[in-house]
Amino acid sequence: MRRHAWWLGGVLAGSIALAAWWMFRADAGDARLKAFVHTRPPVPIVFTSRTDPASMRAAAPSGDGFVFPGQPLWQAKEGRLRLLTPRGTVHELTWGKLLPDGGTLIDVMSPSLSFDASKIIFAGRRGDDHGHFRLYEIGIGGDGLRPLTGGPDDAGCTAVPPMRFGRDEHTLLSDDERRRADFDDVDPIYLDQSSGFIAFASSRTPDLGRGHARRSTTLWLMHLATGQKYPLTGNRYNDRWPFLMASNFIAFSLWSHNQEVITADESDIRPREIGMAAAATAPADSWLGAFIQASGGQFGALIKPHVPVWRPRPLFNGRIAFMTTFDYAAFGHDAPTLPGLHVVQAEAGLLHNVPSAAPAGQKLPR
């Protein structure tokens, strides 16, 4: 109960402070954007405006990315971080703002507020380098924009990533150049304010998995004061969208997908291949809601319904809200459009989908 009270108290105090600050601020915002405001929200809202709904896609785009700058992940042509106030004013927070070295950001995604609502952490891309996402932080008033990852002291990938060649497709890059350029950091969140840590999803562990060319992403921790980074999860596909719960566990979306099946005689586990005899189980392919401690000490399933679980968020009624589709088979991770997205809720601990234990011929509901 005390942890719930602390979490709720921090959220309310931050919201009140943020609302009061913007209510009495004289800045009228961007008059052109104010024309698009249909109603005034009761509290300030931080959001992104992007030219493409790439951030709505859960899976990393498919592609080898052997040539510089590597395979792009969740990119839009343009993205801006903005704030809508209770006065109905809209403010640009990142567009045209200079970074410490003079560069600017052309695309942003996945913002998250600090507990005291004084800072925003988000993923951003520059237009004058490799164009991969790195993490940034900015004050709620648009001040103090600074990079958090991708600096000179950031070693990048834990192993040599897929990218091999420079822009001319003939020049081999050094291992160090490849590690420092070919990765993306996205979906950052602040953790317990006293610890000084953040969590985020990253492709720093450069695994393309088995039988596909889709970059894996896993959860990572970083200490803001020292810049030290630590892997938190392991997945040959994608872990996305961490969210700190009142229990101090981290909820996130986990893509459980593999090609291994139990053989028909149940004596072995083998990769499923074309022409392979009937197997006892079907390959796993589902997005579930998972949880993990920041220490990595405890990991488990938060919710496994018969539909994908994207962006899981706990509600005050004890249930889990998440984005999903009811036609996963037709959804297509690389389809040009994103039809049929919904926001639903379900009981925490729901267990309806266990594909690794389903007979190979059984069609699970989607």
How many domains, the chain? 2
256 and 164 inside one domain:
no
pLDDT value of residue 99: 96
111 and 40 inside one domain:
yes
Of 228, 244, 260, which residue constitutes the final position of a domain? Answer: 244
227 and 263 inside one domain:
no
44 and 165 inside one domain:
yes
Low-confidence ranges of the chain (pLDDT < 70): 1-26, 208-210, 274-277, 353-366
142 and 260 inside one domain:
no
Give the global pTM. 0.86
pLDDT value of residue 208: 66
pLDDT value of residue 109: 97
Of 244, 279, 295, which residue constitutes the final position of a domain? Answer: 244
160 and 268 inside one domain:
no
221 and 264 inside one domain:
no
313 and 224 inside one domain:
no
78 and 94 inside one domain:
yes
User: CA-to-CA distance for 228 and 218, rounded, in angstroms?
Assistant: 16
Q: For residue 266, what are the domain limits?
A: 249-366
pLDDT tens digits, residue range 164-214?
A: 999 887 899 999 999 999 999 999 999 987 789 999 999 999 876 667 788
pLDDT value of residue 8: 38
178 and 284 inside one domain:
no
Of 244, 274, 290, which residue constitutes the final position of a domain? Answer: 244
